[in-house]
Structure 1
Amino acid sequence: MRKLGFGSCNNQHKAQDVWKAIRKEKLDLWVWLGDVVYADRQSIIPFIWRSPQMDEMRETYHYQKNSKFYQAFQKICPIIGVWDDHDYGKNDGGGEYEHKETAKEIFLDFLDTPKDAQQYQHNGVYASYSYGPIGKKVKVILLDVRYFKTEEEILGEEQWLWLEKELKDSDAQVHLIGSGTQILTTDKPFCDKWSEKEIERLSLIIKTHSVPGVILLSGDVHHAEILKDSCDELDYPLYEITSSGMTHSFYSQATILGEWAVKYFLTSERRLGVYARQNYGTILFDWETPAVTLQIHSDDGELVLEQVVPLGHLRKGGDGVLEKGGCVLNYGWMNWKLIPKSTAKLFLFIPIFVPIILILFWAQKTFLKKNNDKQKTS
């Protein structure tokens, strides 16, 4: 394994030019991290989505698969992936989704997954893949954050036990753990993410079994980000790289206001860098140094974020610097963890749509006044 690419949030009805830049990367592997397509339908009311009929979902995946840019890329690069909510079929959906088995079949067909593959042997679409020889082995573990999700947890016990076994029994030097939602951003408002309890369980598994080279990959949030958890309860620092918004982003949806919100409002103490426009990610493996390089590129291929991580920093007793007291995050003047996501979205709804409602009210009032004046003069 020399170079791996990844991305998420790909609206099949928006421009697919990003694939031109991705093709030039000459990747050894592409990893989807959710929202491969937008199978559900957005209503005229913000943040409200309608789940698709299954024939609609099949048509949506077929449309993306037959995109000329995606077809050209498929011919030169192997592709694996996992879903998030919009390709799952229900916005913010979880284990309660009634069509999840059919959605699973459609998703795996899109990826050309063989019928004897591991995903067909259990619930959900989680899976693991290994690449390269001993000493230069990379293990990619993709987690399903939708199929088992409840109000209390994301992965479900079945998947947790599988994940621990995959890490405990691994002989890889690098472990890439992919999640459709972000993991380390527990202090970021509004977004889907893991809880502190779940991060602690993952950290305990890594520490108990002395798993080296763990790096987290994620999508979902319509911007790119590199994060680092340096809590001194870990064996080594935990890095996360998020690539989200291949066809749309906070900037494309709300221009400068969206970019400002990502940089100064939707932030995290664990953040090392952020990019609010359309993007995709790559990871470079240098087995001579040895080190991994985490990269974010704009949709035209420009390198916009980069973090070099020596593999010697990602093992027990290694050179990675941990911070005493870095385990407790500061949630600022308001603890966003206590606000339900549905309620939190009202904070976004109010400043955007209240002015529009006021303008419409003023226009109606002006129109009625003109009509009344006209009737008086006639």
Structure 2
Amino acid sequence: MALIILALCLFSIDNLKAQNRQTTIAFGSCNNQDEPQPLWPSIVATDPDLWIWLGDNIYADTENMDTLANKYNRLLQHPGYQALQKTAAITGTWDDHDYGYNDADGNYPKKAESQQLFLDFMGVPADDPVRKQEGIYRSYTYGEGEQKIKVLLLDGRYHRDPFNELFGLYLPNYGGDLLGEAQWQWLERELTNSDAQIHLIASGMQVLPTGYAYTSWSAYPNARKRLLRLLETTHPANPILLSGDRHVGELAKIELAGYAQPVYEITSSGMTHHREPSRHGNRHRIGQQVGALNFGLLTIDWGEAETKVTMQIRGVEHKVLLEQKLTFEKTPIPVSSR
């Protein structure tokens, strides 16, 4: 499988440089390799500079690593995905079904082996330091100077404590954690004094919802609070949360100390399957959930004095299903970073 990846991954996110005044980033999750994948033509047509996987990139649900590798390989051979690989850089994180199986946590016995197959799928070099750490969390930067974007990919599976599940509800596990202390320290370092103009924080599970009917960071209230406080204390410029998992599209926002406007979360989930939308479970939601096959799109227009970001959930044949527009003032770049 590694040879296939090397042949197909023509672009490296490490070497990306912004070429003009606009950057396009597409993303999605919940992609069953055994089902029809009708979104690829619409995704490729947006001509994204970068594609970010947000988890459940395949549905493996296994402890057999040959089975896991074969399912990754099936996706790699899909003509639509191959078309995307020819024009866009690709990165991402995982969630439970590609990590191991439904609701798999830090007790999954094949997590070290699964990590290596995931990194193979992503085209991560064999000598990359992430190959030797426990968990797939890592960061990349895209662009330079006043057009720099930092992508932070969280791993909410490798170190996650078990859910406090009861009769289908994910009740608060106040003593539980998702990231593990090493990842928390890494995240704080990555956010502190960052000179990026925009920070994209990708998580397999949603961060902002507070309902307990589905998996989300709300099942670990102290970890959720720690993440939001970390944004307040490190204060990276213009953070946007990206998430998947829920089989719907959704937009949400929250007020955080130190930010002149809300911090937004955009959830894109359901590339091959979706559920009916819900009216409950997220008091931070903007508008309605999208119960349709979908992918996410960020279009970033770099102006002289301000940056405009259009966040969209799109469906088959480019249909815009949700949209939110943001305007960010340019953040001065530290002299040491010029």
> Normalised by the shorter chain, which TM-score bucket?
0.7 to 0.9
Partner of 2:51: 30
RMSD: 1.9
Aligned residue in 2 for 1:142: 153
1:276 is matched with 291
Q: Which residue of the partner structure matches residue 174 of structure 1? A: 198
User: Does 2:123 align with 1:112?
Assistant: yes
C-alpha deviation, 1:233, in angstroms = 7.8
Structure 1 residues 268-277 or 27-36, which shifts more? 268-277
Q: Identity of paired residues, percent?
A: 41
In the TM superposition, what whole-angstrom CA distance separates every residue of 1:221-276 from its partner, at most 9, and x where no partner exists?
A: 000000001256866421100000001000xxxxxxxx2xx2324x3110003211
Aligned residues: 294
- Which of the numbers 306, 316, 323 marks the counterpart of 1:306? 323
Work out whether residues 105 and 160 of structure 2, in 8 Å CA contact, stay in contact via their aligned partners in 1.
yes
1:199 pairs with one of 209, 224, 234: 224
Q: 2:314 aligned to 285, 291, 297, which one?
A: 297
Moved more, 195-204 or 147-156: 195-204
What is the TM-score when the length of structure 1 is the normalising length? 0.74
The structure with the largest alpha-carbon Rg is: 1
Q: Which letter does structure 2 place at the counterpart of 1:190?
A: Y
The structure with higher relative contact order (CA 8 Å, sep 6+) is 2
2:236 to 205, 208, 211: 211
Task: Name 1:228's counterpart in structure 2.
Answer: 253
Deviations 1:41-65 (A, max 9, x none): xxxxxxxxxx341111111111111
Structure 1 runs of 4+ off > 6 angstroms? Answer: none
Q: In the alignment, residue 38 of structure 2 is paired with which amino acid?
A: D
Structure 1 or 2: larger helix share? 1
Other-structure match for 1:18: 39
1:284-330 deviations in whole A, cap 9, x for unaligned? 11111412111100133211111011114999xxxxxxxxxxxxxxx
User: Quick check: 2:54–2:204 contact (8 Å CA) kept in 1?
Assistant: yes
Change (3 A) 1:199 1:312: farther
State the TM-score, normalized to the length of structure 2. Answer: 0.83
Contact 1:218-1:240 at 8 Å conserved across structures: yes
Q: Which has the higher strand share?
A: 2
Q: 1:72, 1:35 → 2: CA distance?
A: 20
Cα offsets for 1:17-56 (capped at 9, x unmatched): 210110100000000000010001xxxxxxxxxx341111
Distance 1:240 1:21, change over 3 A: same
CA contact (8 A) 1:137 1:173 kept: yes
- Where do 5+ consecutive residues of structure 1 fail to align? 41-50, 251-258, 316-378
Give the SS at the match of 1:290. Answer: strand
Per the TM alignment, residue 196 of structure 1 is displaced from its structure 2 partner at its CA by 3.3
Choose which of 117, 127, 138 in structure 2 pairs with 1:127.
Answer: 138
Partner of 2:173: none
* Gap runs ≥5 in structure 2: 1-17, 163-175, 333-338
Structure 2 counterpart SS, 1:263: coil
